[in-house]
Amino acid sequence: MNSIDRREFLGMAALAGIGFMTAGTTVEAKALDLTEKTVAELAASMKKGEMTSEAITNWYLARIKAIDPKINSMIEVNPDALAIARQSDRERRSKNFKGPLLGIPFVIKDNIDTADKMKTTAGSLALVDAPTPAKDAFIVKRLREAGAVLLGKTNLSEWANFRDNDSSSGWSGRGQQTRNPYILDRNPCGSSSGTGSAIAANLAAIGIGTETDGSIVCPASICGLVGLKPTVGLVSRSGIIPIAASQDTAGPMTRSVADAAVMLNVIDFIDPADSAMKGKREKVDYTNFLIADGLKGAKIGVARDFWGRNAVVDAVTNAALEAMKKAGAVLIDVKFPNLRKFGDAEFLVLQYEFKDGLEKYLRGRGSKYKTLDDLIKFNNDNAAREMQYFKQAIFESSAKKGPLTDKEYLDAVETCRKYSRDEGIDQVMNENKLDAIVGPSNAPTWMIDLVNGDCGSGYVGSSSLAAVAGYPNITVPAGFARELPIGISFFGRAFSEGTLIKIAYSFEQATKARRTPKFLPTAA
């Protein structure tokens, strides 16, 4: 059997639910179902010799082949994934490597650089022929060093959903429309839509998304996942196609809080190239915060500004509040009177920083398109492929912005900080001596609509306060509206990830609200 035939055989075997033990010369078959398996469970099975990374990777690759045509979450599969998995198996047998993610397959959003055979395009056809990045993004380097197997890249809302006001979240010129794995005609939310759908559908063990405002929290909650948006400055942004330096960050998208904590341990590492990471911080082991009774005595502010907007969301989140109280949390109603005072300022900041950051990235990448104006022209020249559903109004307005020394920009930055931090999260938490604040993550997701774009009717989300402040936010599954997931968010002060993980983990253990999408089989 030649190598190509063997790969095809392994893929078909994995599709049939067969795993292969490849240690030595023995090939031992056994039933394999990795649905909902955690990092800890996969690592324990490999350590015991019950399965190999090659078998695990094969299972996910076969599942992608069988299921992803319905979801369209993967923009590209890594042609080297199996070779990386085999290398991790050799390292495990040599006992010279003890990486916390050794042999664990993961996916990343296609706005994150990889110096390999895959492309990095932000979903745009403009970057399909751009030079391969000279090096991996810093967080990809960290994940590889931890032993993880890069399975592939996920689709996204093109340019991280910062091209036009009438876009359809989850659509890109390169990848087309990603679907929600719970109900296929529903939107997966953006812009980390592909990662959300892929992890929800068990197409990889763990994933990475990026967020400027809601792009981890929204797809994670709408796809029934845990999504952790770290404090800006906790995780490197080097090698990630930017929107806004003041709000951008990458973070874990997983099926459990424990997996998010393990991933955060790996990617929380000082990158000297990221100016937001200046200064030393004490290294934190986030798995120490996986405490089942972490809600006991926790003082949590209930952000009532987000209640009363959607009866279905209120029902799910009120039940979640009761579960928190039963677990020993102290809940205090709080209000944010300045909640609507920074929206216009935020958009201005994003426009200025998008132009500045993206043009720096394009020049560094060596793309033949160096400016926003170049990209605008590309889209106009390729309108049949890039603009058949929506245009580029945000591109055009951002291209007109000046340098980051403009008074308009500096005033907008100050407005954002004042109302989201000083007279927002910090003030409410200090006055009430809170450990965290809680709010609904999402309402039931909307129908995919490539004619009118995203429909926000009746939508509820609480991501903006933490996003504009640059503060951490974690969403956890809380329940369902029929078959559509509803999440709940815990957010708080800068660098309070440990506290938020403790509260979120305790809530997760008390409620266990996550469930696999019904239409998907339990095994590939």
Flag whether pLDDT at 63 surpasses 90: yes
Confidence of residue 16 (pLDDT cuts 50, 70, 90): very low
Number of Cβ within a 10 Å radius of residue 208: 27
Catalytic positions, written as ranges: 109, 191, 215
pTM: predicted TM-score of the whole model, two decimal places: 0.94
310-314 long-range contacts, CB within 8 A, separation 24+: 310/443, 310/458, 310/459, 310/460, 312/443, 312/444, 312/481, 312/486, 313/440, 313/442, 313/443, 313/444, 313/460, 313/481, 313/486
Query: Could you give the CA distance from residue 50 to residue 41 in angstroms, rounded to a whole number?
Result: 11
How much of the chain exceeds pLDDT 70, in percent?
A: 93
Q: pLDDT at position 523, please?
A: 53
- The single-letter code of the amino acid at 409 is Y
What phi, psi does 467 have (nearest 5°)? -65, -50
Which H helix or E strand runs over 463?
helix 463-469
Residue with tokens 């592909």: 194
Report which of residues 459 and 3 the model is more confident about: 459
Provide the strand spans (E) within 267-338: 299-303, 330-334
Walk across the sheet containing 473-481 and list its strands. 74-77, 149-154, 105-109, 206-211, 249-254, 226-229, 473-481, 484-491, 436-440, 299-303, 330-334
pLDDT, one tens digit per residue, over 458-505 is 789 999 999 999 999 999 999 999 999 999 999 999 999 999 999 999
At 210-242, the pLDDT tens digits run: 999 999 999 999 999 999 999 999 999 999 999
Q: Chain centroid to CA 238: how far?
A: 16
Query: What is the predicted pLDDT for the residue at 462?
Result: 96
Q: Hey, is 490 helix, strand or coil?
A: strand
**What's the pLDDT at 280?**
65
Eight-state DSSP code of residue 298: -
Residue 478: which of 466, 488, 468 has the closest Cα?
Answer: 488
Is residue 128 within 8 Å of 172, Cβ to Cβ?
no
- pLDDT per position as a tens digit, 436-456: 999 999 999 999 999 999 986
The one-letter amino acid code at 491 reads F
Cα–Cα distance, 344 to 44 (Å, whole number):
49
pLDDT tens, residue by residue, 145-158? 999 999 999 999 99
Q: Give 268-279 pLDDT, tens digit per residue.
A: 999 999 999 987
Contacts of 365 (CB under 8 A, 6+ apart): 127, 130, 131, 133
Q: Give residue-wise pLDDT tens across range 158-210.
A: 999 999 999 999 999 999 999 999 999 999 998 999 999 999 999 999 999 99
Average pLDDT of 404-422?
A: 98
18-22, 76-80, 430-434, 501-505: segment of lowest average pLDDT:
18-22
* Phi and psi, residue 176, nearest 5°: 65, -155
DSSP 165-193: TT--TTEETTTEE---SSSTTB---SSSH
Helices (H), 331-438: 343-365, 372-381, 383-386, 393-399, 407-417, 426-432
CA atoms within 13 A on the CB side of 217: 30
Higher pLDDT, 61 or 521: 61
The pLDDT, as a whole number, for residue 521 is 62
Q: What are the respective helix, strand and coil percentages of the chain, to the nearest 5?
A: 40, 15, 45
For residue 457, the model assigns a pLDDT of: 63
462: DSSP letter: -
Sign of CA dihedral 502, 504, 508, 510: positive
Least confident of 10-14, 68-72, 162-166, 471-475: 10-14
Cα 472 to Cα 230: distance, rounded to the nearest angstrom: 5
Question: What gap in Å lies between CA 62 and CA 160, rounded to an integer?
Answer: 28
